[in-house]
Amino acid sequence: MADPMRIRAQAAGDKTTVRVLMSHEMETGQRKDAAGKTIPAWFIQEVSATLNGKTVMTAQWGASISKNPFLQFTVLGAKPGDKIGVNWVDNKGDKRSDEAAVS
Amino acid sequence: MKNILLIAALLTASGAAPAQPKSAADGIAEYRAMLADGNPADLFEAKGEDLWKKKRGPKNASLESCDLGKGPGVVKGAFVELPRWFADTGRVQDLESRLLTCMERLQGFDAAEIARTPFGKGEQVSMEAYAAWISAESRGLRFNLPQGHADERKTFELGKRAFFYRAGPYDFSCASCHGQPDKRIRLQDLPDLTKNPGDGIGFAAWPAYRVSSGEMWSMQRRLNDCFRQQRFPYPGFASDVTIALGVFMGVNAKGAESIAPALKR
The answer to whether the Cβ–Cβ distance between B43 and A67 falls below 8 Å is no
Share of chain B above pLDDT 70, in %: 92
Model confidence at B30, pLDDT cuts 50, 70, 90, reads confident
Q: What is the pLDDT of residues B118-169, one digit of tens each?
A: 998 999 999 999 999 999 999 999 999 999 999 999 999 999 999 999 999 9
Q: pLDDT value at position B244?
A: 96
Residue A19 CB coordination number (10 Å): 17
Q: Is pLDDT at B18 greater than 60 in this prediction? A: no
Tell me which residues of chain A have a pLDDT lower than 70. 1
Q: pLDDT value at position B203?
A: 94
A42 occurs within a structural domain: yes
The amino acid at residue B194 is T
Q: What is the pLDDT of residues B197-241, one digit of tens each?
A: 999 899 999 999 998 888 999 999 999 999 999 999 999 999 999
Q: Is pLDDT at B185 greater than 90 in this prediction? A: no
Whichever domain contains A42, its CATH number is 2.60.40.10
What distance in Å separates the CA atoms of residue B133 and residue B126, rounded to the nearest whole number? 11
Residues of chain B neighbouring A66 (CB-CB closer than 8 A): 211, 214
Residue in B102, B174, B177, B226 annotated catalytic: B226
DSSP state of B122: T
The amino acid at residue B202 is G
A69 occurs within a structural domain: yes
Q: What is the pLDDT of residues B78-123, one digit of tens each?
A: 999 999 999 999 999 999 999 999 999 999 999 999 999 999 899 9
A22 occurs within a structural domain: yes
At B49 the three-state DSSP class reads helix
Greater confidence (B33 vs B228) lies with B228
Give the mean pLDDT of chain B. 89
The amino acid at residue B47 is K
Q: How many domains, in total, are found in chain A?
A: 1
Residues of chain A neighbouring B214 (CB-CB closer than 8 A): 66-68
> Would you say the C-alpha torsion A5, A11, A15, A17 has a positive or negative sign?
negative
At A103 the three-state DSSP class reads coil
Which chain B residue is nearest to residue A18, measuring alpha carbons? B38
What is the pTM for the complete model shown? 0.84
A1 occurs within a structural domain: no
A39 occurs within a structural domain: yes
The answer to whether the Cβ–Cβ distance between A19 and B38 falls below 8 Å is yes
Model confidence at B12, pLDDT cuts 50, 70, 90, reads very low
Q: ipTM value of the model?
A: 0.78
Q: pLDDT value at position B236?
A: 94
Q: pLDDT value at position B19?
A: 59
The amino acid at residue B121 is K
The domain in which residue A24 lies consists of 6-101
Nearest-CA distance A21 → chain B (Å) = 7
CB nearest to A21's CB, from B43, B211, B214: B43
Is B226 a catalytic site residue?
yes
What distance in Å separates the CA atoms of residue B193 and residue B253, rounded to the nearest whole number? 8
The amino acid at residue B53 is K
What distance in Å separates the CA atoms of residue A25 and residue A43, rounded to the nearest whole number? 7
Domains of chain B by start residue, with CATH? 38-264 (1.10.760.10)
The answer to whether the Cβ–Cβ distance between A21 and B47 falls below 8 Å is no
What distance in Å separates the CA atoms of residue B234 and residue B222, rounded to the nearest whole number? 12
A62 occurs within a structural domain: yes
Q: pLDDT value at position B29?
A: 78
